[in-house]
């Protein structure tokens, strides 16, 4: 599963937006960009719900499916048939050795490169959508202001013109919401 599809990208966009909504208060309360970065870097340590976020679950499943066989193979290589470790004593030593060897593997490098490229595209797409939404909102706001200034002029016209203006203003308000 090392390659991510277009459907994966769309799903990641949705999951990332959901995560950002969930942690919005924490990030927006940060006094600087650096502080917001620190909050994100330590989110696992500080957010009791971290492992329940769908984005995190998706990434965990992606890593497991991409590297599961590598971890199993490295564990077999580093343990003897009798369950003893061939890399010193202790459980931590085995975990560190398997982790190191997995991180040195071609599969890990490919997974990380694919994930990095995909996330760059996902974030850029979210930023572009945000900017487009902002421009649309600004345009609607300008149109609304323009229609309000025009309606002041046409308020002196007949009742049928006034009704038309009310319908038009209602339509603009509906679109703007």
In which domain, by residue range, is 35 found? 1-78+167-176
Is 122 among the domain residues? no
Is 150 among the domain residues? no
pLDDT tier at 171, thresholds 50, 70, 90: very low
Is 38 among the domain residues? yes
Is 2 among the domain residues? yes
Q: Considering its fold, how many domains does the chain have in total? A: 1
Is 52 among the domain residues? yes
pLDDT tens per residue across span 28-78: 899 999 999 999 999 999 999 999 999 999 999 999 999 999 999 999 988
37 in Cβ contact with 151 (< 8 Å): no
43 in Cβ contact with 49 (< 8 Å): no
Is 43 among the domain residues? yes
Specify the DSSP class assigned to residue 83.
Answer: S
The pair of structure tokens assigned to 79 is: 């343990």
CA distance 156 to 177: 28
Bridge partners of 85, per DSSP, are 79
The pair of structure tokens assigned to 45 is: 């340590």
Give CA 86 to chain center in angstroms. Answer: 41
Is 134 among the domain residues? no
- The pLDDT value given to residue 60: 95
Radius of gyration of the CA atoms of the chain, in A: 27
Bridge partners of 79, per DSSP, are 85
Is 8 among the domain residues? yes
Q: By mean pLDDT, which of 15-29, 70-84, 115-129, 136-150 is the weakest?
A: 70-84
């Amino acid at each position: 599963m090392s390659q991510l599809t277009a459907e994966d990208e769309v799903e990641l966009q949705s999951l990332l937006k959901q995560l950002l909504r969930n942690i919005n208060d924490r990030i927006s309360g940060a006094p600087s960009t650096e502080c917001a970065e620190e909050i994100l870097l330590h989110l696992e340590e500080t957010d009791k719900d971290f492992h329940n976020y769908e984005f995190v679950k998706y990434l965990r499943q992606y890593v497991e499916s991409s590297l599961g066989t590598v971890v199993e193979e490295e564990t077999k290589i580093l343990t003897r048939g009798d369950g003893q470790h061939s890399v010193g004593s202790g459980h931590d030593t085995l975990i560190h050795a398997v982790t190191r060897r997995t991180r040195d593997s071609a599969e890990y490098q490919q997974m990380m490169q694919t994930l990095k490229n995909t996330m760059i595209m996902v974030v850029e797409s979210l930023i572009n959508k945000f900017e487009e939404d902002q421009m649309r909102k600004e345009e609607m706001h300008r149109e609304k202001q323009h229609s309000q200034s025009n309606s002041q002029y046409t308020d002196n016209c007949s009742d049928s013109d006034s009704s038309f203006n009310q319908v038009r203003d209602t339509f603009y308000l509906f679109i703007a919401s």
